[in-house]
């Protein structure tokens, strides 16, 4: 039975990642006219990275067990404007649209998986 719920947990983690990424990308769009602003993006954190500390107790200082991603500057050869801003509105909007699609897909999969579990737990109706 744990297998049936592990897929829902993974999809929930994906939805959380895409929700947090949307907030970061929206912040990039909001700062499109801010001089010197550099856009950020989220990426999934490598679980086998030796720099990541193991969370032994959730109450410890610096522990954030819910965050499985890292915030980083995303340049990728982006041109900067004369005021030092690196944000390309078209690029950020394309990222937001792709992120929205991935979030919607994960949400639909969670919905279908829970409907299947509800059907299996019920009397077949």
What does the pLDDT read at residue 15?
93
Range of the domain at 76: 2-121
The radius of gyration computed from the CA coordinates of the chain, to the nearest angstrom, equals: 19
| Alpha-carbon gap, residue 124 to 78, rounded angstroms | 55
What does the pLDDT read at residue 16?
94
Whether pTM > 0.75 for this model: the answer is no
Over residues 61-116, the pLDDT tens digits come to 544 445 567 777 766 666 778 888 888 899 999 999 999 999 999 999 999 998 98
What does the pLDDT read at residue 29?
95
- Residues 83 and 36: beta-carbon distance below 8 Å: yes
Question: How many Å is the maximal CA-CA distance in the chain?
Answer: 66
Strands (E), 17-101: 40-44, 69-73
**Number of domains making up the chain:** 1
| Alpha-carbon gap, residue 5 to 122, rounded angstroms | 16
């Amino acid at each position: 039975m744990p297998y049936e719920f592990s897929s829902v947990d993974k999809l929930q983690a994906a939805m959380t990642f895409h929700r947090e990424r949307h907030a970061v990308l929206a912040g990039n769009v909001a700062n499109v006219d801010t001089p010197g602003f550099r856009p950020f993006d989220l990426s999934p954190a490598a679980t086998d990275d030796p720099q990541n500390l193991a969370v032994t107790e959730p109450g410890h200082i610096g522990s954030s067990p819910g965050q499985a991603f890292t915030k980083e500057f995303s340049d990728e050869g982006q041109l900067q404007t004369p005021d030092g801003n690196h944000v390309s509105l078209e690029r950020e909007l394309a990222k937001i649209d792709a992120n929205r699609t991935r979030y919607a897909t994960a949400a639909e999969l969670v919905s279908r998986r829970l409907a299947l579990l509800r059907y299996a737990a019920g009397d077949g109706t």
